[in-house]
Amino acid sequence: MKKDYRLKKQRVHASLWVKEIEKLEEAKLGDSGSGGGADDIDRLLDSCSEIFDSVDHDFDKLEVSSGSDLKNKPDGWESTTKEEDGR
């Protein structure tokens, strides 16, 4: 009985220490970035600015396949193999 209590007490203390360590890690990460999560998004957008800020998109030349090009698949096609699909 004493052994069970001691093990349970050790587990509780270990989980409390893990939570405390996680809080400290989050605080460190929060201090390194001035704005937290929003700052991460801004950095991502800045690093991919050519994708998001591009004004050179020429939508007039964009090709869209017509409806006749699309092949209608039977119900349950997700579970068919290539042989069953005819490809």
Average pLDDT, rounded, for the chain: 73
Q: Domain of 26? A: 1-51
Is 16 within a domain?
yes
Q: What is the pLDDT of residue 48?
A: 74
Amino acid at 26: E
The number of domains in the chain is 1
| Interacting residues of 33 by C-beta distance below 8 A, sequence separation 6+ | 39, 40
Is 30 within a domain?
yes
Is 66 within a domain?
no
- Weakly modelled stretches of the chain, pLDDT under 50: none
- CA-based torsion, 30, 31, 33, 35: positive or negative: positive
Is 60 within a domain?
no
